[in-house]
Amino acid sequence: MSLTSLQQERAFAALNSFSIELPSWGFANTGTRFGKFIQAGAATTTPEKIADAGQVHRFTGCCPTVAMHVLWDFPSGLGDVPAVLAAATQSGVRIGAINPNVFQDQQYKHGSLGNPDAAVRAMALQHILDCVEIQKETGSRDLSLWFADGTSFPGSGSVRSRKRWFQQGLARVHEALPEKARMLVEYKPFEPAFYATDIADWGMAYLMAKSSGEKARVLVDTGHHYQAQNIEQIVAWLLDEDMLGGFHFNDRRYADDDLTLGSIDPYQVFRIFHEICFWEWENQRRADIAYMVDQSHNLKNKIEEMIQTAMTAQELYLKAALVDHEALAAAQADSEIVDAEECLRAAFFTDVRPVLREWRQALGLAPEPLKAFRACGYLEQAALERGPKNLGAVSSYA
């Protein structure tokens, strides 16, 4: 199916407005709880992570920012900010969301802001406040908050007390935010807590954000749901409440596997994008949403998988932007169920790759990003420069 001139215009406008943020941690060697898998060319330092992210943006044109994890990317706190900013400038990207880490250290065994020990709660709060200072210095808009807090056995903690401690802590964080910054509250139903996660679903995250203040929104991770949960319905509700702040995009087969975006269910990602585009059509304005990637790049090459993810996100977003909203609204009003569904199916099954190639060429980009990246020699050079350190880590890890 070829696009009409009006569809072509809509397609270019959609692509010009769409960007997706890359995670710095997706470029380093990672693994599972059973082991760590080493790639010779994986990034070993924060500047290398940022440089790799810059390659993805160079070839896709849609990944201008990089999300940072504070303990991993700013081990010395504010003192690391100048070097990180310099690396971002050199690589042609900007610093994106700042992600505190209150789940890794030993003191967080029983939680962070929900810990029954007031001293640990204070320590976690101080770390997040320190992250707000990094947010200010880097010019980052979003503070992205995910908590591993919860309990794994009945009776092992007070559900109500933990809820109140979280509300108190998040309110303090909200007070410290810069004027135009946001605080995104993420949720997850289980893991590592297997009885009661303190912020387990979108309703809990919504209440936490609402009680914190007007700068707080909900962050939806597509992998953080029970099997077969209707994520696009959650998206539609949060949009209608003006409480959808951002996404961590990935895919999964069973639980929070963090597989490549669209690798399992591209139609679900399309449906999520559709709800956003439909809302924007109805309201005649852009939704203020941060699109971010959060995947475990354990087996595929790090940079190649990021390019693949960015390309898939562009394709699915473009398909959603091509839905005939006028026809869809009319079919919904008349309860024409088949016609309404066909509006979505027609857009989803449209081959948008030709228009994407045209858009890239218009911007001076390679029409086939993955192919162009493989031909540029960056991977081979990275493996030569980083290989000794990465491959030396195999024996030390074992």
CATH of the domain at 29: 3.20.20.150
- Supply the pTM of this predicted model: 0.96
How far apart are alpha carbons 249 and 320 in whole angstroms?
16
Q: What is the DSSP letter of 242?
A: T
**Confidence class for position 397, pLDDT limits 50, 70, 90:** very low
How far apart are alpha carbons 319 and 285 in whole angstroms?
19
Judge whether residue 257 has pLDDT over 90: no
Number of structural domains, the chain?
Answer: 1
How far apart are alpha carbons 244 and 253 in whole angstroms?
25
The per-residue pLDDT for 35 is 83
What tokens appear for 220 in the block?
A: 């939806």
With CA atoms as reference, report the closest residue to 66 among 355, 382, 317, 306: 306
The per-residue pLDDT for 5 is 83
Q: What is the pLDDT of residues 308-357, one digit of tens each?
A: 999 999 999 999 999 999 999 999 999 999 999 999 999 999 999 999 99
The per-residue pLDDT for 68 is 98
Beta carbons within 10 angstroms of residue 159's beta carbon: 12
What tokens appear for 10 in the block?
A: 């809509």
At 80, which amino acid appears?
A: D
Angle between helices 231-240 and 266-283 (to 10 degrees): 20
Q: What is the pLDDT of residues 276-311, one digit of tens each?
A: 999 999 999 999 999 999 997 789 999 999 999 999
How far apart are alpha carbons 204 and 220 in whole angstroms?
12
Is residue 238 in some structural domain?
Answer: yes
The per-residue pLDDT for 395 is 52
What tokens appear for 349 in the block?
A: 């099954």
Is residue 311 in some structural domain?
Answer: yes
160-191 burial, b at 16+ Cβ within 10 Å, e below that, comes to eebbebbeebbeebbebbeeebbbbbbbbbbe
Dihedral of the alpha carbons of 323, 326, 328, 329, in degrees to the nearest 10: 140
Is residue 91 in some structural domain?
Answer: yes
Is residue 306 in some structural domain?
Answer: yes
Residue 246 CB partners (closer than 8 Å, separation 6+): 97, 142, 144, 184, 217, 219, 220, 289, 290, 291, 292
What tokens appear for 283 in the block?
A: 């309201």
How far apart are alpha carbons 309 and 300 in whole angstroms?
12
The mean pLDDT of 268-272, rounded to a whole number, is: 98
Is residue 133 in some structural domain?
Answer: yes
Is residue 146 in some structural domain?
Answer: yes
Is residue 386 in some structural domain?
Answer: no
What tokens appear for 143 in the block?
A: 């503070």
- Would you say 95 and 138 are in contact if contact means Cβ atoms under 8 Å apart? yes
3-state secondary structure of 112: coil
How far apart are alpha carbons 235 and 188 in whole angstroms?
15
- Would you say 366 and 59 are in contact if contact means Cβ atoms under 8 Å apart? yes
- Could you list the residue range(s) of the whole structural domain that residue 108 is in? 19-318
Angle between helices 81-91 and 46-60 (to 10 degrees): 30
Is residue 113 in some structural domain?
Answer: yes
How far apart are alpha carbons 390 and 397 in whole angstroms?
10
